[in-house]
Amino acid sequence: MRTISDTIERLARLRAGRFSAANQHHTDVLVRLEPSGDNPGNLTGWFTKPDSLKTAPALVVVLHGCTQTAAGYDYGSGWSSLASDYGFAVLFPEQSRENNANLCFNWFNKEDITRDRGEVQSVRAMIATMIANHGVDPKRVYVTGLSAGGAMANALLATYPEVFAGGAIIAGLPYGVAGTVPEAFDRMRGHGLPIAAALVDMLREASPHQGVWPTVSVWHGTADNTVVEGNARAIVEQWRGVHAVPQKATLTEIVDSQRHEVWRDTSGRDVIELYSIHGMAHGTPVDTQAGYGHGAPFMLDVGISSTVHIARNWGLTPSFERRANAPKREQAPSAGRWQQSRVGGVQNVIEDALRSAGLMK
């Protein structure tokens, strides 16, 4: 019997577009991270250490989405380009088909999202290597990811909160809400999400942490039918509990034409933010006119750069101006999709797989 993973992989080969060789194999700026310490999750690590690297630099851990590679996601998001301009390091853990046929991080597998086990332990070991071998400031480590990578970023924040100063979850899910593939698909569609109190308990029980919790930035498209927007609100609820902030946002404003909500703690520190990208489907919001990133499957040119705003929020860029000679946007910002007539979208791939599996009508 064909499994859900087999179906997704088959459909992906038939329908999903590919980056060009220059895009997909963006390895000229990435260096293989030599194994150091345990790697129970069997992940590969890549990193970029630009010539402009500052003394005791910050480190950003970037997790790709399903069917993507580290190099492909870097090309689309522009993280290594931003790092080169502002002098911080970037680590790109990469999934293998031996672990997941669709290159998804296994955010729904308990063994991989439990402290000191599986994939989260592998990423933790990579971070330790970057700190030991490349002089990274251990107090300035951050993590971000898209979709399955976003869910795994949340898992890392939950299981190792003492390691991270902050995290950014793009089109992701709350920590600990699924333990099987069918449950994962249900949660992606917004079905069976736990109540706020249960979400907070899952987060608190993931580690023995008693200190300051990392800040969290949440990004989600309002037209995302792959991982529905309700997951973004659930992530906010999960982290609102440990940060002890009110349900109502402290600040609601419009940034680059998008709704931006901020929750501040009693000291006035911004601890949670939520960007709701109007009309955007499933993917990472990029702004090619800013000079960082490229439009592609999963990488949606909607006129706001999540990479730039996240980096600024973390204090990695003291100020920001659009890069000179940045390319003009080829697609209307309101579309929020890669050109579906040219490239099969991952959303269609997953939805077809769900129908084939009898999980979606």
- The per-residue pLDDT string of the chain (361 residues; one tens digit each, 9 = 90 and over) reads 444 555 455 444 434 444 444 454 455 789 999 878 899 999 999 999 898 999 999 999 999 999 999 999 999 999 999 999 999 999 999 999 999 999 999 999 999 999 999 999 999 999 999 999 999 999 999 999 999 999 999 999 999 999 999 999 999 999 999 999 999 999 999 999 999 999 999 999 999 999 999 999 999 999 999 999 999 999 999 999 999 999 999 999 999 999 999 999 999 999 999 999 999 999 999 999 989 999 999 999 999 999 999 999 999 997 655 554 555 444 433 334 333 333 344 455 455 444 333 334 3
Q: Do 201 and 184 form a contact (C-beta atoms < 8 A)?
A: no
pTM of the model: 0.86
Question: Does residue 155 come out as left (phi exceeding 0), alpha (psi in the -120 to 50 range) or beta?
Answer: alpha
User: Nearest-5° angle of CA 126, CA 130, CA 135?
Assistant: 165
Which is the catalytic residue, given 77, 80, 81, 147?
147
Question: 58: which 2 tokens?
Answer: 């910050």
pLDDT of residue 359: 37
pLDDT of residue 9: 53
Q: How far apart are CA 208 and CA 197, in angstroms?
A: 18
DSSP secondary structure, 218-250, as one string? EEEETT-SSS-THHHHHHHHHHHHHHT--SS-S
pLDDT of residue 256: 96
Q: Is 147 a catalytic residue?
A: yes
Q: How far apart are CA 331 and CA 184, in angstroms?
A: 32
pLDDT of residue 29: 85
For residue 233, how many other CB atoms are within 10 A of its CB?
18
- Nearest 5°: phi and psi at 12? -65, -40
For residue 251, how many other CB atoms are within 10 A of its CB?
11
Total residues found in the chain within this entry: 361
Domains in the chain and their CATH numbers? Answer: 20-341 (3.40.50.1820)
pLDDT of residue 7: 43
User: Nearest-5° angle of CA 29, CA 283, CA 126?
Assistant: 45
For residue 254, how many other CB atoms are within 10 A of its CB?
8
pLDDT of residue 304: 98
